[in-house]
Structure formats: C-alpha cells, structure tokens
Amino acid sequence: MSKFNLLTRLRRRTYEGGLAYKRDTRTELFLLAISNLVGEATFYELAQDRDNRYAALVRAATLADPEWTARLLAWLRGSANLRSAALVGAAEFAKARLDNGLPGQSRQVLDSVLRRADEPGELLGYWTARYGRTIPKPVKRGIADAARRLYDERSALKWDSAGRDYRFADVLELTHPAPLDERQGLLFRRLIDERHGRAGEPDGLPVLQARQALTALPVETRRARLAADPAQAVADLREAGMTWEALAGWLQGPLDPAAWSAVIPSMGYMALLRNLRNFDQAGISDRDAAGIGAKLADPAQVARSKQLPLRFLSAYRAAGERCSGVLDTALGHSLAAVPRLSGRTLVLIDTSYSMTDSFSRDGTLKRWDAAVVFGLALAARAARPTVVSYSSESQEFAVRPDEPVLRGVRRWQEEGYFLGQGTDTVGALERHYRGHDRVVLLTDEQHGQGDVNSAVPARVPLYTWNLAGYATGHTPVSQPNRHTFGGLSDRSFDLLTLVERGERGDWPF
C-alpha cells in the first residue's frame, strides 16, 4: 500500500486543474532556476512567492547535496548565462551552510558565480538587503576573490558609477582583497581615494590616464576630433576603454556616423546585434554596415558568440526588414548546434495566454516567442517534422523545407498561429500524435484537463521544455521516456540527443 500512497502524494493539479506530478527538490530547483527572472511575476505566481520558493529550494538542495548545488550555480552563471538566479542562489547557498554550521564551500561557490565586475557589488547588495549589514567571513572572502579577479582599469570605467548601491570602493573596503600586483594595488587605492573625494592624478594607470585626457577636451571639439582622423579616433577610444555607452555620455548627445565608426571596431558580437536599429537610424557608412554584416554572418563569430536563435529574433524585431538577410544567415549558422533528428518528430508549441509572460528581461520577447523559435529550429533539423500550435484548440503549421527560421516565425505571426485562450495539451496530443518517433512539448505545463503522461504511448520519448518553472509538471520525472528540461540555453538542443544516446539522468553540468 505504501507505493500507492506515495503515488497519491506525488499527484497534484496544475493551476488550470489538469493532472500534475510533484517534482523532487533538485528537478524543481533546476527548472525554476533556468526559467526564473528574479523579481518578475508570472501568469500564475507572484514575484515574491516565486523568489521565496527559489531561495527555499536552493537552501534545501544545499543541505541535501551541496556538490550538485554548487555545480548547478556555476553552470547557471556560465553556460546558461542566468546572472540573477546564480547570484541569488550563491548567497542562499552560503546562508544555508552558515546557518547549519557547515564549514567550507561557500567561498568557492560565491567566487564561481561572480563573472562580471559589477556583480561583487550586486551580491553584497542582495546580502545586506536580505540579511543585514553583518557580512560573514566566507561571504567576504568569496567576494574578495572575485574582486581581485575582475577589477581592473577597464572594468572600473565600465561598471563603477555613482548610481550603484555598492561601488567598487565599497566592495574593497568591506572585503579587503589583496591586490594581484602593483598596478592593481594602485587602482584599488585610487578607487578608495576617489570614493572619499581625495583622488589625485592616475599615475601608473595608463587606461585611466587616456580616459582623463579625452575627458579634458572641450565638449564642443569632441565630435570634430573623431571625424578629423578616423584611424586615430579608433585607437584613442580603445586605449581609453571607451564603450559605446560611455561614448554617448562623452559626446553629450547621440552617436553620429563618425562616432559609431570610431567605436564599432571595439564592439563585441552581442553589442553589434543589440545596436542594429541605432546604426540604421544614425545612417552609418556603407563600409561600416558591410563590416558589421560580415561579422554577424561569420560562422566562426556566431559559434564563438554562443548566441541563441532567440537573440536573432529579438534583433530582427528591433531592426526590421533591412537587417533580415544578415540575421537569417546568422541564425542559420547558429543552428549548427541543433542536432539532426531522424524519423518523425512531433513538435507541439503552447501559444495559450499564460505563455505571454515575458521571457526576456527587457520584456520584448514572450515565452511563446521563445517556444516558436526553438520549435522551428528543431523542425529545421528534423527529417520529418510535424509542428503544431495549440491552446484550447490546435493548428498544424506547414513546414517549408529550407525556409529560414526567422521567415518561418514571421509567417507564424502573419498567419495567426499565436492562438491565445486556454491550454488543452491532452487534446492536442490526441489530435496530432500519429505514430511519431518522439514528441517535443514547449510549454509552461499548465494544461487544463486530462493526463498528458497517458496521451503518449509509454514507449515513445516525450520531451518537455518547461518555460515557466512552476512547482508541478504534467509528467512524472522518474518514468522511462519522460524527460523534462527547462528554459532555453546554448545547451538546450544538446539535451535531446544526450537522452537519445542513453545518457538519461545526466544534468547539463
């Protein structure tokens, strides 16, 4: 009888009333972590409730399996590139260890998630807001390790500002990192002196000296300086650690073609992608535009950038049709990471109202946008795909061989495949499953009725990508051929083939 009592305890209901299954702590944490925008509400769950559930799950997992939790947090900040989830998780990891008198690991975990120079201050801000201004030694040491690794002249110019709750100098004075070398020691002293209003000349700090020289130029002469000698302007901005954001402040106005031309050579792939609309509005030269297009469409650059197909949709929506050719090409190169799928693949894409929650932090992309791009990317690599949009009803989407993914997304929208309404996952499976070799579901798992698990034969692999991270799911995680993943990262496409190669149960870290 105990077996059946356990099954009863594991069965739950979704927010819409459909049959659901309680997840184990590690699975629930993993799915929530990779789908959670900290501080953001979702269709069914308030922001504070969601954040509290995440913190509680991290603490529980830390006590049950600290090594696994440490690997998860490092992976979240690294491959998954989820800053907030990683930083909050590391703080809660340390808190759980400290509260339970457990030595070690906290310092190393904190250091492992701090990858950008503004993050030591962000983590301090989270800790003091949640737990007060007393900072335990392991937390101080982990943050100090990161500060030594991340603080240099360029990062100080880019990330340190009066608008931060915790400036670089505050981090230094609270955690006392030992400098790596003489030059970093000079920087640390200058940052602290500057914070207290006693900074002198930046002797021994060439990047700060170059920036100071540019700042000393009269504002009214700066644009002419960039236009007079374009090659020298490129060198000057690079030596002074001038980003495109800082350049707008230095010019005290928008960037014109000469300014963009001077800073574009220093811009990374993501910055170029984000600024396509700005380039177009400024009217940059054909030469600069050609250089940007060549870099964005370069297969090696695409691979190195690790941009998801979703990023190219976001860029297209900002930039419009003029950039569609380059972005279609770039997205096509990004599909090299997507596995080829033999046989017949059914891809079901949830486009119900609850999938309109934000997927990107800036709110420009919704969960159903992410699901459509991911689904069409899979279909582009599948031998015999069937793609279906579903909510309370469902419609099969006509897949066109060799159609660029972005063009397919445009057609999806123009032809009305974003359906809205409720979520009848079981009905969609019953209508469209016809002996496929595998089923892929892109959803928040909040179906309204029936049992999703029973709607697909037990012998057929059913892969669910959960884009919301709610506490319960529509299939049991311990049953063969039932696999649930969460969020979308550069590893998401790999997971499907890992499972099909018999590596089921492996985490992506």
Tokens of 300: 């090696």
pLDDT tens-digit readout, 150-175 = 999 999 999 999 889 999 999 999 99
Alpha-carbon gap, residue 127 to 120, rounded angstroms: 11
Provide the pLDDT for residue 485: 74
Alpha-carbon gap, residue 276 to 318, rounded angstroms: 8
Helix, strand, coil tally for the chain in percent (to 5): 55, 10, 35
Provide the pLDDT for residue 229: 96
Beta bridge partners of 347: 387, 440
Alpha-carbon gap, residue 431 to 447, rounded angstroms: 15
Supply φ then ψ for residue 382, to 5 degrees.
-95, 145
- Give the SS3 label for residue 20: strand
Alpha-carbon gap, residue 146 to 108, rounded angstroms: 10
Residue 347 DSSP one-character state: E
Provide the pLDDT for residue 463: 87
Alpha-carbon gap, residue 290 to 279, rounded angstroms: 12
**Beta-carbon-side half-sphere exposure of residue 193 (alpha carbons within 13 Å):** 11
Residues with pLDDT less than 50, the chain: 1-11, 15-16, 37-46, 469-472, 502-505
Return the beta strands (E) in 159-199 as ranges: none
Provide the pLDDT for residue 487: 63
Supply φ then ψ for residue 401, to 5 degrees.
-55, 135
Alpha-carbon gap, residue 334 to 418, rounded angstroms: 24
Tokens of 162: 């009066």
H helix or E strand, kind and range, residue 465? strand 462-466
Provide the pLDDT for residue 6: 30
Provide the pLDDT for residue 2: 29
Alpha-carbon gap, residue 195 to 206, rounded angstroms: 20
